[in-house]
Amino acid sequence: MPIPGWVLLEPDSFGPGIAVVVLGLASSVAFGFGDFGGGWTSRRAPVLGVSLVVQLIGVVLMVGAAVASREAPLAGGPLVLAALAGSFGVGGIVSLYHGLAVGRMGVVAPVTGVLAASVPVAVGVVLDGPPPVMVDIGIGLAFVAVVLVSRAPSAGDRRSGLEFAVLAGLGIGAFTVFLGLVPEGHVFWPLAVVKVTAAAILVLAIATGRRAWRVPRRIAVGVVGVGIADMAGNGLFLLAAQAGQLAVASVLSSLYPVTTVILAAVLLREPISRSHSFGIAVAIVAIVLIGTGAVGA
């Protein structure tokens, strides 16, 4: 049965090919806003606390949506896939938020994006076969784009955060693979399981390590916004992966650093270099090629 409120996001609403492009790009924009907000709030509150609140918001939203939509509960393989996605995803997102907090957003976000896309693209080619030639060219340009956007000059004493970007990219890449393998027809319950798993791991880490976690009230609204954006990105990516090839959905969703870099430049006055500008332009070309190739496939 159609999921109330999500009918316009069903793959058939767009037609073959275009669904994965529209949903993948929408996912990248949501992830870009969420990651910018996650980094900004993590500069003002403990990263484990921010991450935990984000996961709990996801639990409430997704369980409520699953119950309201009467979506069939998960069992067996899909349940395991969602739990694995949550386990890898929480490590990736904590590393990402910490990297964005202590390092430069213009470096951490793009490097994470490259690595986060590499793993699912490789798995997607193995599972789905190689995409059309035009899509292959677009995927290659997308990787070039995020590399160019990551070429940011040093900013005073602030460290790059590169080591956290590597951990984040690998964790999020594995998360993307497992979530993308959840079969079509499941949306809300897989995301609920992802968030419950992630929240449980964070609670265990906070309790055993006696780490700070309380989020100040002054940034509570911002953290809620991060949680909503994160869930939107996850949901849109899952729908994109179910609508088309995993490699295409993963690469398009990995273009989120463009949004993060633009927000950092506008709101935090981080510089946009020629490399940034050229990378954004290359990303646009990549999107056009991937979209055209996917629609024609």
CB 170 within 8 A of CB 119: yes
Which is more confidently placed, 260 or 291? 260
Reference 192, options 64, 96, 54, 88; nearest CA is 64
| Banded pLDDT at 1 (limits 50, 70, 90) | very low
Report DSSP state, residue 158. Answer: B
Q: Which conformational region is residue 228 in: left (phi greater than 0), alpha (psi within -120 to 50 degrees), or beta?
A: alpha
pLDDT of residue 7: 38
Q: How far is CA 60 from CA 5, 65, 151, 275, in A?
A: 17, 8, 38, 41
pTM over 0.85: no
Residues 233-254: tens digit of each pLDDT? 988 988 888 888 777 788 788 7
Residues 91-109: tens digit of each pLDDT? 998 888 788 778 877 677 7
Can you read off the two tokens belonging to residue 89? 């995803």
Residue 156: exposure state from Cβ atoms within 10 A (0-12, 13-18, ≥19): exposed
| Banded pLDDT at 149 (limits 50, 70, 90) | low
Q: How far apart are CA 272 and CA 104, in angstroms?
A: 12
